[in-house]
């Protein structure tokens, strides 16, 4: 079983739809959870960064973390064609010390297309 | 804030050439920088972690003599692909992370370098 599972899609939705993306993981030591957006031939862009369980909202984006279920989600409201990209979840154990604990483990990414 | 600049964005060169890629943190000091490799339709694969002023830590299977990493300052890390061959063609991405106030900070990525070896 891979450490982080993410449905690669592709996922195609009409403009204005609510998009739900998710990842599951197996390492209970993960504490920091991130969502990155990657456009074709570009580097990943940080969208959301959360610590431990709970919800975080930023504009049209909401990130949810359920550590008890080892499940994280990203919701995009009022999706736009400009949201078309690959969305990568990433997580790390993180700590205030230690050389390797903040290495990221990525999902494979979900390719999203928002159709006008 | 947290802008990471990577240069060049695309390079094509002949087999046997050495290629240097630069990664700069523009508005923050990066105590740690990371180098990744990404194949088409695949996720990022960590190659090495570098801390300013010390030797890089390479992931298993990554040849340190092939991929030379230098992190000479808090804002600059370089990756040199030595004697590059066609199998080294890939998308290389750096990221940088600052540790501030005792709290972990997320990694911020550059825009990547597309390397094509003929």
Q: Tokens 């240097």 identify what position?
A: B20
pLDDT at residue A8 in the model: 85
pLDDT at residue B77 in the model: 93
Between vectors from CA A61 to CA B1 and to CA A41, what angle results, nearest 5°? 60
pLDDT at residue A95 in the model: 53
Confidence class for position A51, pLDDT limits 50, 70, 90: confident
Kindly provide the residue ranges of all beta strands, DSSP E only, lying in chain A, ordered along the sequence. Answer: 4-6, 11-14, 19-25, 32-38, 45-51, 54-58, 61-66, 71-76, 85-92, 105-106, 110-115
Arithmetic mean of pLDDT over chain A: 90
Q: Rounded to a whole number, what is the distance in Å from the CA of A68 to chain B's nearest CA? A: 22
Contacts of range A99-103, beta carbons closer than 8 Å, 24 or more positions apart = A99/B49, A99/B51, A99/B57, A100/B49, A100/B57, A102/A32, A102/B32, A102/B97, A102/B104, A102/B107, A103/B34, A103/B46, A103/B49
- Inter-chain touch A41–B114, beta carbons under 8 Å: yes
- Whether A102 and chain B come into contact, CB under 8 Å, resolves to yes
pLDDT at residue A99 in the model: 46
Q: For A72-114, how does the pLDDT look when each residue is reduced to its tens digit (9 = 90+)?
A: 999 999 999 999 999 999 998 875 444 445 788 999 999 999 9
- Whether B114 and chain A come into contact, CB under 8 Å, resolves to yes
- Whether B20 and chain A come into contact, CB under 8 Å, resolves to no
- Whether A98 and chain B come into contact, CB under 8 Å, resolves to no
pLDDT at residue B97 in the model: 84
B60 contacts: CB under 8 Å, gap ≥ 6: none
Q: For B7-61, how does the pLDDT look when each residue is reduced to its tens digit (9 = 90+)?
A: 999 999 999 999 999 999 998 888 889 999 998 888 899 999 988 878 899 999 9
Q: Which of A34, A95, A103 sits opposite B49 (nearest CB)?
A: A103
Question: Please, are residues A26 and A70 in contact by the beta-carbon 8 Å criterion?
Answer: yes
């Amino acid at each position: 079983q891979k450490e982080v599972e993410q449905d690669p899609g592709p996922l195609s939705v009409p403009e204005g739809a609510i998009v739900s993306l998710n990842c599951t993981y197996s390492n209970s030591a993960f504490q920091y959870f991130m969502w990155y957006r990657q456009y074709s031939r570009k580097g990943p862009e940080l969208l959301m960064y959360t610590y431990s369980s709970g919800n975080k909202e930023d504009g049209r984006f909401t990130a949810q973390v359920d550590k008890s279920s080892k499940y994280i989600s990203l919701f995009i409201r009022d999706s736009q064609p400009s949201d078309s990209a690959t969305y990568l979840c990433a997580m790390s154990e993180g700590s205030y010390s230690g050389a390797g604990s903040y290495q990221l483990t990525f999902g494979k990414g979900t390719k999203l297309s928002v159709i006008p | 804030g947290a802008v990471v600049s990577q240069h060049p964005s695309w390079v094509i060169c002949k087999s046997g050439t050495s290629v240097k890629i630069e990664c700069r943190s523009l508005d923050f000091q990066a105590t740690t920088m990371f180098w990744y490799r990404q194949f088409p339709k695949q996720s990022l694969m960590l190659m090495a972690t570098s801390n300013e002023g010390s030797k890089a830590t390479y992931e298993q299977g990554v040849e340190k003599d092939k991929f030379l990493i230098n992190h000479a300052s808090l804002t600059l890390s370089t990756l040199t692909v030595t004697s590059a061959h066609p199998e080294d063609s890939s998308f290389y991405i750096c990221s940088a992370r600052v540790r501030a106030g005792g709290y972990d900070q997320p990694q911020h990525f550059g825009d990547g370098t597309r390397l094509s070896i003929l």
